[in-house]
Structure 1
Amino acid sequence: MASPLFLCILLVVFGSYVSISAAGDGKQSFVVVSTRSFQTQDVCSTSTGMPRPNGGAVPVVHRHGPCAKSQSTDKPSFAEALHRSRVRTDYIMSRALTMQEQEQEQDEDRVSIPAHLGTSVDSQEYVVTLGLGTPAVEQVVLLDTGSDLSWVQCAPCNSTGCYRQKDPLFDPRKSSTYVPIPCGSDVCNRLQSDHFDDGCTNDGTQCGFRVEYGDGSKTKGVYSNEALTLAPGVVINDFHFGCGYKQGGPNDNYDGLLGLGGAPESLPVQTSAVYSGAFSYCLPPVSSGTGFLALGAPTNTSAFSFTPITPLMNYDTFYTVKLTGISVGGKQLRIPRKVFEGGMIVDCGNIITHLPSTPYAKLESAFRAAMAAYPLLPSDEGDICYNFTGYTNVTVPKVALTFSGGVTVDLDVPNGVLLDGCLAFTESGPDDSVGIIGNVQMRTLEMLYDVSGGRLGFRPVAC
């Protein structure tokens, strides 16, 4: 069996932090952090580590951070990030409700399956640089556990048909390993059952694909086979992806998307014969630093804490876990467990964590009380944002999430709790049955998706 991929590149934190105890509880429940940690640095700061020997490197960076190869020029404000996150969440919730209705009605003729199979790509923030073709052409693609089908823009493609990108377009005519998937093949027929197909193209000989996302962006072209290079000497042959010749809608300095969902079109499922469907990643903070993406599970998982993971009802794409409790500043919030029964979708393509209304209200109240020393910024949207002007250091309460199986995960402070000085949690919306864990809360944790084992692992301080 090929060696699992792994690279842990440590984050250099600007400014210091000190853990302090809440009065009388003897626990380190608050953290003093430098306000510089809320700012994006000008220099990419990395150091390397290799916890898994003989592995290949797949670095992950924030596309608005200093380590991004094709850095976006317009970093969204918190209000914009929250809006994008809500658009994506609303779309996911609509799909979840459709699945609920399908199960309840048990009548396929009466159920409308959404034609848009993707979610909002405008909210996604983390990218990896991969090689596609032979010789390999570098492509910067978004990571998304909420999508399955991977795609890049392909040449020939004019300015009206493709987004502008800084990297060269992938040109299949220049690759010795490119093969379009035939129309009518089993692989192509599966696209139709998964609602990704666009019929037959090029005189009916090649398999067409189409993906439309919830934010209005879309891509279509030829479903294809190609060599995917994850690291020097680590190549996945016959990787199925979409070679997109016609794109539209929002786009911001990326070349395509890498689908990490649970359906057959995704990278983990396509490589399951080698890596057993397991993969992990560590998302670095936006301020600086590099994380990693790894296929396969480490031999020794003793550093991880695991909670059960399941698909969302009968929809394979999304990974769901059960949240059972929340603590702020070392104090467990009094929240009825029944409000978490719908589960939480783990979505690295979402920014903010969306909680059902009851736990969110409890969290907000406790967090505001713990941060009462700092002035709030005015907000028409009800956002909890602080004015740290004039402060060199601020004291932030720890926030911990407890999952089924008794697993408690301490979020990084401040990167896993605050975004631009704002509380990175919000309400799920009108439907409280399902919540979403966003990428802010995942930052600096290694998230290990052991799908065959039915579990999700957390390893702290991994990047």
Structure 2
Amino acid sequence: MACSIPSLLICLLLLAPQLGSSYHTTSYSHGRKHVVLRSSQDSRVPPSCSPIHSGDDGGPLPVMHRRSACSPSGAGLDHSKPSVDDTFDRDALRLSTLFGKSGVTIPSTGTPLAALPGASEYHVAVGFGTPVQKFHVGFDTGSASAGATLLQCKPCAVARGAPCPRAFDPSKSTSLVHVPCGSPDCDVSECKGRRCTRALNWKNGLQNATFVTDTLTLTRSVIVDKFRFFCLEMAARSGDGSSGILDLSRDRHSLASRVAPSRATVAFSYCLPSYADSIGFLSVGGARPELAGHNVTYATLRSKALHPNLYSVQLVGFSIAGQDLKIPPIKLVGDTVFELHTTFTYLRPDVYAVLREQFKGWMRPYRLAPPLGDLDTCYDFTGLSSMILPDVTLRFKGGATMDLDIENFMYFKDPENHFSVGCLAFAAARTLEPVVAVIGTLAQGMTEVVYDVLGRKVGLIPRRC
């Protein structure tokens, strides 16, 4: 069936029984709009979990959301979706950790971290030691984890002295070496004694942590010898079920720094799944995407970023439905980061105000709804059989563009139903330093983010997982 642009919505309504999902989203290039249709069908196939845990085929590591039914690290945990307020509190705590008291802040109700979701939303399975002991861990590009990979180690205990589960046993590894004080690998200035140890505040608890080196096994073909990480001596009550977190920051001891630079490869890349029951991937030392035929655009890494351990780029503009927003360039000068532990995307208040007003102008046909937390641009789509939303695009210095699907720029109160209350998934952040934007995981879903450290750029490939 061929459809002209004016009659596209009518054609889609006729095709609705064939669309194959409960809420089907269709994008088309003319007009830069998204069409959503109500459908009585639901052909979604439950995820098959059997092949995804090993990552032993030499390919990328499967990435699972902490609430995924496929993640054994989350077995027995509460997989319910956190409230908007809890998500904002968690984001606020994360941003405070990254940027400090003088950095990005958003309103927070003060809920203790222990009552919020765990620090790692996404997990991969990796191996430590010889022979390999396998664990599910989070991963982080922001070096909020003290500039080192962290791993729960034995001996350790949880409440009332019970043995802690999912912990690495150093005594069973023949390749483990303790880092001594005075070693170049020990950057603890107050260190005294034979072992490099420090107190570390992690997941809302003070823990003793000891630097060691050991073998890190990602896949059969990616093995890192003498990899430095912190052994944590107490079990953390994080609620995410992971055993630690891989540091992929720009720190000199991170996993990214151990990847041999090559013009044919990149340091690492990841693609975050948009839904808890879908699978993404993490690739370390993989082939450069353009050599594999992928359509990638690159943003230039800032050479004078305020936070040198972060991969900062520069946001240079937005467009809604193909129309550029009129934002003075001076308001966009500063750092923008792709963040793995915040959900929503945060902008300077003056930049967010322009985006919000342009979006609200486009959405005049739809009923306004009360705010959800700090998401203040909300609409009630209840009872509709179809809706058309504008395309939202982010542009970066260097030429990279990020075209957001509906699931990336809208937050739905009922994630299984687009015909409910939906909000623009951006919020204002009070800033006291030149941080322009923090792009959260919701906006990044299904986009492969490529970190070419040697080439000093970050690549974006749409719809990769």
Q: Distance in 2 between matches of 1:438 and 1:45?
A: 27
Q: Quote how far apart the aligned CAs of 1:211 are.
A: 3.3
* Amino acid in structure 1 at the alignment position of 2:267: A
Q: Which of residues 181, 195, 203 in structure 2 aligns to 1:206?
A: 195
CA contact (8 A) 1:211 1:220 kept: yes
Residue of structure 2 equivalent to 1:353: 345
Q: Which of residues 48, 56, 60 in structure 1 aligns to 2:59?
A: 56
Q: Quote how far apart the aligned CAs of 1:92 are.
A: 2.8
Q: Which moved more, 1:78-87 or 1:293-302?
A: 293-302
Q: Which of residues 273, 290, 293 in structure 2 aligns to 1:284?
A: 273
Matches within 5 A, 1:62-77: 62-71=65-74, 72-73=77-78, 74-77=80-83
Structure 2 unaligned spans of 5+: 1-19, 105-115, 414-421
Q: Distance in 2 between matches of 1:14 and 1:45?
A: 20
The percent of aligned pairs where both chains have the same amino acid is 30
Q: Distance in 1 between matches of 2:369 and 2:304?
A: 37
Q: Distance in 2 between matches of 1:31 and 1:210?
A: 53
CA contact (8 A) 2:66 2:240 kept: no
Q: Distance in 2 between matches of 1:216 and 1:208?
A: 19
* Amino acid in structure 2 at the alignment position of 1:62: H
Residue of structure 2 equivalent to 1:319: 311
Residue of structure 1 equivalent to 2:411: 418
CA contact (8 A) 1:217 1:247 kept: no
* CA shift in 2, pair 1:129/1:161, >3 Å: farther
Matches within 5 A, 1:45-444: 55-71=58-74, 72-73=77-78, 74-94=80-100, 122=118, 124-147=120-143, 148-160=147-159, 168-188=166-186, 191-192=187-188, 199-200=191-192, 204-213=193-202, 216-246=204-234, 250-272=238-260, 278-301=267-290, 303-310=295-302, 313=305, 315-372=307-364, 373-379=366-372, 381=374, 383-391=376-384, 394-418=387-411, 420=413, 421-431=422-432, 433-434=434-435, 435-444=437-446
* CA shift in 2, pair 1:161/1:174, >3 Å: farther
Residue of structure 2 equivalent to 1:449: 451
* Amino acid in structure 2 at the alignment position of 1:422: C
Q: Distance in 2 between matches of 1:79 and 1:164?
A: 34
Q: Distance in 2 between matches of 1:182 and 1:161?
A: 32
* Amino acid in structure 1 at the alignment position of 2:46: V
Q: Which of residues 449, 461, 465 in structure 2 aligns to 1:459?
A: 461
Give SS of 1:360's match.
Answer: helix
* Amino acid in structure 1 at the alignment position of 2:432: D
CA contact (8 A) 2:270 2:448 kept: yes
1:28 to 2:32 alignment? yes
* CA shift in 2, pair 1:397/1:79, >3 Å: farther
Give SS of 1:246's match.
Answer: coil
Q: Distance in 2 between matches of 1:36 and 1:386?
A: 22
Give SS of 1:318's match.
Answer: coil
* Amino acid in structure 2 at the alignment position of 1:324: V
Superposed CA deviations along residues 257-298 of structure 1, whole A, max 9, x for unmatched, are 111110112110123468977111111112431111111242
Q: Quote how far apart the aligned CAs of 1:216 are.
A: 3.0
* CA shift in 2, pair 1:269/1:14, >3 Å: farther
Q: Quote how far apart the aligned CAs of 1:379 are.
A: 4.5
Q: Distance in 1 between matches of 2:456 and 2:398?
A: 13
Q: Quote how far apart the aligned CAs of 1:192 are.
A: 2.5
Superposed CA deviations along residues 86-123 of structure 1, whole A, max 9, x for unmatched, are 2222343337759xxxxxxxxxxxxxxxxxxxxx9945
Q: Quote how far apart the aligned CAs of 1:316 are.
A: 2.7
Q: Distance in 2 between matches of 1:34 and 1:231?
A: 42
Give SS of 1:184's match.
Answer: coil
CA contact (8 A) 2:117 2:240 kept: no
Q: Quote how far apart the aligned CAs of 1:154 are.
A: 0.8
Q: Quote how far apart the aligned CAs of 1:153 are.
A: 0.8
Q: Distance in 1 between matches of 2:403 and 2:50?
A: 24
Give SS of 1:429's match.
Answer: coil
Structure 1 unaligned spans of 5+: 1-11, 99-119
Residue of structure 2 equivalent to 1:107: none
Give SS of 2:455's match.
Answer: coil
1:19 to 2:27 alignment? yes
Q: Quote how far apart the aligned CAs of 1:449 are.
A: 0.7
Superposed CA deviations along residues 366-408 of structure 1, whole A, max 9, x for unmatched, are 2233334144145464533444444565433221001113332
CA contact (8 A) 2:64 2:123 kept: yes
Q: State the TM-score, normalized to the length of structure 1.
A: 0.78
Q: Distance in 1 between matches of 2:65 and 2:40?
A: 18
Q: Distance in 1 between matches of 2:456 and 2:332?
A: 19
* Count of aligned positions: 410
Structure of greater relative contact order (alpha carbons < 8 Å, 6+ residues apart): 1
Residue of structure 2 equivalent to 1:5: none
* CA shift in 2, pair 1:70/1:362, >3 Å: same
Q: Quote how far apart the aligned CAs of 1:438 are.
A: 1.4
Q: Quote how far apart the aligned CAs of 1:321 are.
A: 0.6
Q: Cα RMSD (Å) of the superposition?
A: 3.5
Superposed CA deviations along residues 174-202 of structure 1, whole A, max 9, x for unmatched, are 122222222221211xx226xxxx724xx
Q: Distance in 2 between matches of 1:365 and 1:288?
A: 34
Q: Distance in 2 between matches of 1:146 and 1:172?
A: 27
